Structure 1
Amino acid sequence: MLNDLSLLMQPDDYGLLTDLYQLTMAACYVGEGLDQRRASFELFVRRLPPGFGYLIAAGLASALDYLENFRFTAEQLTALKATGIFAGAPAEFWSLLASGRFSGDVWAVPEGTVIYANEPILRVEAPLWQAQIVETYLLNAINYQTLIATRAARLRDVAGPDATLLEFGTRRAFSPQGALWAARAALAGGIDATSNVLAALKLGRKPMGTMAHALVMAISALEGSETDAFEAFHRYFPGAPLLIDTYDTVAAAKRLGQAPPKKLAGVRLDSGDLVALSQQVRQALPGVPIFASGDLDEGEILRLKQANACIDGYGLGTKLVTGSPVNGVYKLVDIDGIPVMKEASGKLTYPGRKQIFRTAAGDRLGLVTEETPTDISAATPTEVSTNGQTEAEALLIPVMRHGERIGGVETLEIIRQRATESVAQLPVAVRDVNNPVVPQAEISNALQALTDCTRRGQLATVS
């Protein structure tokens, strides 16, 4: 592990993939005899990224995989001790890490579900030291994948159900690990396929892509022409899509139209005036699918459609896998049955373990005690009655019990279908990609009462 300059992560590294203060706090908990106290932390987003009216929850599969594999090796503990940072930590801290595994419960919103600000995407209920250390990884996995799944869902919503959408973002993702997560989240949010070969094969998918300008330029220079390059490529990949904008897009399309390859799967445009070029290419190559790429996002696709561009599919890279982050946070809401809250300016949190109750009229954020008890093994959101009010869907469901996953792993097809249906049910104003209306959950009477009571108690303690 020491001096491994590759920085490639393995499951055995999960324990140490955390911020230093998670470990120093855990050591303090042990020293104060608090480490085994039952704690509840909730992961939520205070505000949505600019221009977003909703989020699509994603990253749960990665989070559960992490929790199942959470541990520290002897080598890691030796390296940690060698830093000297923990010289004053109690001896029990080291024995706890050496034998520790995640043994808590997790409640979460299923991947592919629409979620709004201040609504918990996930809740961890575990011994305090465990719930604390896992914060960093859970935020990393869920924040990033939720961003990508949401962008994918917005792209699908704008492009329409018939457009072919391809994820081309690996070279722009924030890391090799991020590229794999981005590919999965994009597929979950509504993208059809990824060009990332490793991600596709790991997910049981067929990778999809076209060619780069380098092939056209190299073969043109060495064998004579752009046409030679197209013919060479088709010798080995018959009918594969061709990139036709290396030199003169319209001229290339006309030459292909004069002697069209058999079953040409499509042509790709990566630059220029995509509206005018696509219209001219369509005239030269009627019936051949036209794909567009080149830093496209939801707003640009909407503009292209409104301008009557002749585009059948899109390659999506930079704007899909990057952008304004989802700033999810992970906050303590209950310790040993005592509700707690944060009151810092602009960063207030609601106390207690919470549930999201969704009705056709909107969301209500309430306490878990407002929920009609349901079977702990339930694998789908449950219809419940809340204080005699309208029947509501309880979004947070149990996904891990005593450190063991509940139920099987959902397929990408199920998650994608959930995302598609969730977005389709949203008002048009919420789905607007330029100036969306951002829904806010109603706070239940019980949660408001607990908030007021907790605030008064904390102020009394301070005074």
Structure 2
Amino acid sequence: MSPSVSREALPHKHSPASAIARTLPAELNLAPEDCSLLTDLYQLTMSACYVGEGLAEKRASFELFVRRLPESFGYLIAMGLEQALDYLNNLCISADRIAALQATGIFDRAPANFWTLLASGGFTGDVWAVPEGTAVFANEPLLRVEAPLWQAQWVETYLLNAINYQTLIATKAARMRDIAGSEAHLLEFGTRRAFSPQGALWAARAALAGGLDATSNVLAALKLGQKPAGTMAHALVMAFNAVAGSEDEAFAAFGRYFPGAPLLIDTYDTVAAAERLAKQKQEVKGVRLDSGDLVELSKKVRSLLPEATIFASGDLDEWEIARLKAEGACIDGYGIGTKLVTGSPVNGVYKLVEIEGMPTMKQASGKMTYPGCKQVFRGEGRDRLGLASEAPEAGERALLQQVMAKGERLYACESIAEIRDRALSSVASLPPHARQLNNPTPVEVEISPQLQQLTDRVRDRLMNNE
């Protein structure tokens, strides 16, 4: 039901902070019901303006894409659609959230039916998207939203947050898998370096979907139906060494409770630890090296423990993995953390491309956008960016699929394995120049004649209106 709101009931714009705080819990932990307000203020103020000027219910189309790839990236792996759809499917602004907005005083002059509209229901639009795990390039829409203008505007911030971050992690994971090879065991260790607890969960998901084998994040693994994986920390070795008198006691104790689990052997002297393990009866199935010269140490450990799986960790990324392989390191798997879950952002943007059937575009220098609802047509060795109304040419397939209709989800939830297979296949299908680490060249994206003609017409119309 819509709350009854009178102008007199609205708090003054200078209401004390305590008046606002009383309307919502002070904790900053994110609950599912909070997500509808996880947006930027200008999404709300613009929506209020749309209501006041009679534009709120106009049919609008927005597309989410990147203008340019991050430096040294030859492609991106689309990710985050599942969380985007979940958000849209559950979008609902509750009465207490509306009360909290009113208590700020910011919206004192907003039209009364703005509040009625917010309380009226959730997302009712249509969505098209590229399936998760698909390789994409600059200016290609990962997602398109068609909805009443106020709804399509409101959801921008969350969609960018979910898709930008997971696309970054999935792409880095795919690059690491591509460099490490199919036989290497890759573990995601980034929870402690992720930007937030929520970010850690999304990073673990995107890393697994992008090509990694497992995550050490217990909650993420269990939620995703996976088995968490990990080794041990230096603290265990140091504790046993201080109390029980030796590093070997730590290895023996850990092995009793977790037989076959990898042992961390670089707390004091890596080679000495490997030599002692080689002489003992304890079966050693795996060891981890977290410091020192990983090339030389891995070779020495291999000579001492030839049957053991050797894992490496410690600020690794795709370039370091490539270096280790090139220098002949005897490493079977990698634990990847900080440089997987952080790094140069994917600067995805979300731009209006059409309203009430009228194509529109941005012309700002360096930030031009293409007008109209678009489709990505993938052919052999090239992509074509065209209008959604165009048909695929011979040998092409359309990447954007309808995933929501009138607010109802059409797209079935996919397993991590399905998305990972698509990601690996997508990367494998790319030409070498797009996959190389240094100075990659993305696949050429052609602009269809129809899209170019529309762009020219809209540009001329805008110039004539100035």
Say whether the fold is shared (TM-score over 0.5).
yes
2:293 paired with 1:273: yes
Q: CA deviation at 1:407?
A: 3.4
Q: CA deviation at 1:429?
A: 1.3
Question: Kindly tell me: are residues 155 and 260 of structure 1, through their superposed partners in 2, closer, same or farther at Cα, counting changes over 3 Å?
Answer: farther
1:202 to 223, 227, 236: 223
Partner of 2:167: helix, strand, or coil? helix
Aligned match of 1:284: 304
1:451 to 444, 451, 455: 455
1:28-84 CA distance string (max 9 Å, x none): 000011111000000000111111000000000000000011111111111100100
Aligned match of 1:374: none
Aligned match of 2:162: 141
- The runs of 4+ residues in structure 1 deviating greater than 2 Å are 1-6
Separation in structure 2 between the aligned mates of residue 139 and residue 154 of structure 1, nearest angstrom:
22
Letter in 1 for 2:323: R
Partner of 1:400: helix, strand, or coil? strand
Aligned match of 1:442: 446
2:35 paired with 1:14: yes
CA contact (8 A) 2:169 2:341 kept: yes
Separation in structure 2 between the aligned mates of residue 347 and residue 20 of structure 1, nearest angstrom:
23
2:398 paired with 1:394: yes
Structure 2's unaligned 5+ residue stretches are 1-20
Question: Kindly tell me: are residues 260 and 122 of structure 1, through their superposed partners in 2, closer, same or farther at Cα, counting changes over 3 Å?
Answer: farther
Aligned match of 2:415: 411
1:346-374 CA distance string (max 9 Å, x none): 00000000000110030010001112xxx
Separation in structure 2 between the aligned mates of residue 256 and residue 6 of structure 1, nearest angstrom:
49
Say how many residue pairs are matched.
Answer: 445
Separation in structure 2 between the aligned mates of residue 82 and residue 133 of structure 1, nearest angstrom:
20
1:131 to 145, 152, 168: 152
Aligned match of 1:424: 428
Separation in structure 2 between the aligned mates of residue 260 and residue 169 of structure 1, nearest angstrom:
34
Query: Greater CA deviation, 96-105 or 233-242?
Result: 233-242
2:348 paired with 1:328: yes
TM-score normalised by the chain length of structure 1 = 0.95
Partner of 1:369: helix, strand, or coil? coil
Aligned match of 2:140: 119
Partner of 2:259: helix, strand, or coil? coil
Separation in structure 2 between the aligned mates of residue 44 and residue 154 of structure 1, nearest angstrom:
20
Letter in 2 for 1:275: V
User: Identity of counterpart residues, as a percentage?
Assistant: 68
Q: CA deviation at 1:6?
A: 3.3
CA contact (8 A) 2:221 2:227 kept: yes
Q: CA deviation at 1:438?
A: 2.2
Aligned match of 2:254: 233
CA contact (8 A) 1:340 1:454 kept: yes
Structure 1's unaligned 5+ residue stretches are 372-384
Letter in 1 for 2:376: I
Letter in 2 for 1:42: E
1:417-441 CA distance string (max 9 Å, x none): 0000110011111101122112331
1:167 to 179, 188, 212: 188
Letter in 2 for 1:453: R
1:122-171 CA distance string (max 9 Å, x none): 00000000000000000000000000000000000000000000000000
Aligned match of 1:375: none
1:162-215 CA distance string (max 9 Å, x none): 000000000000100000000000000000000000000000100000010001
2:63 paired with 1:59: no
Separation in structure 2 between the aligned mates of residue 79 and residue 408 of structure 1, nearest angstrom:
35
Q: CA deviation at 1:5?
A: 4.3
Partner of 1:281: helix, strand, or coil? helix
Aligned match of 1:49: 70
CA contact (8 A) 2:381 2:431 kept: no
Q: CA deviation at 1:99?
A: 1.4
Aligned match of 2:280: 259
Letter in 2 for 1:221: A
Aligned match of 2:324: 304
Partner of 2:191: helix, strand, or coil? coil
TM-score normalised by the chain length of structure 2 = 0.94
CA contact (8 A) 1:117 1:440 kept: no
1:337 to 354, 357, 369: 357
Letter in 2 for 1:366: G
Separation in structure 2 between the aligned mates of residue 367 and residue 47 of structure 1, nearest angstrom:
20
Letter in 2 for 1:208: A
Q: CA deviation at 1:233?
A: 1.1
Separation in structure 1 between the aligned mates of residue 263 and residue 305 of structure 2, nearest angstrom:
12
2:299 paired with 1:295: no
CA contact (8 A) 1:165 1:313 kept: yes
1:303-339 CA distance string (max 9 Å, x none): 0000000000000000110100000000000000000
Aligned match of 1:314: 334
Q: CA deviation at 1:236?
A: 1.4
Question: Kindly tell me: are residues 398 and 260 of structure 1, through their superposed partners in 2, closer, same or farther at Cα, counting changes over 3 Å?
Answer: farther
Letter in 2 for 1:91: A
Letter in 2 for 1:6: E
CA contact (8 A) 2:359 2:371 kept: yes
Q: CA deviation at 1:239?
A: 2.1
1:100 to 112, 116, 121: 121
CA contact (8 A) 1:150 1:189 kept: yes
CA contact (8 A) 1:167 1:195 kept: yes
Q: CA deviation at 1:260?
A: 4.3
Q: CA RMSD in A?
A: 1.0
CA contact (8 A) 1:68 1:403 kept: yes
Aligned match of 2:18: none
Q: CA deviation at 1:11?
A: 1.4
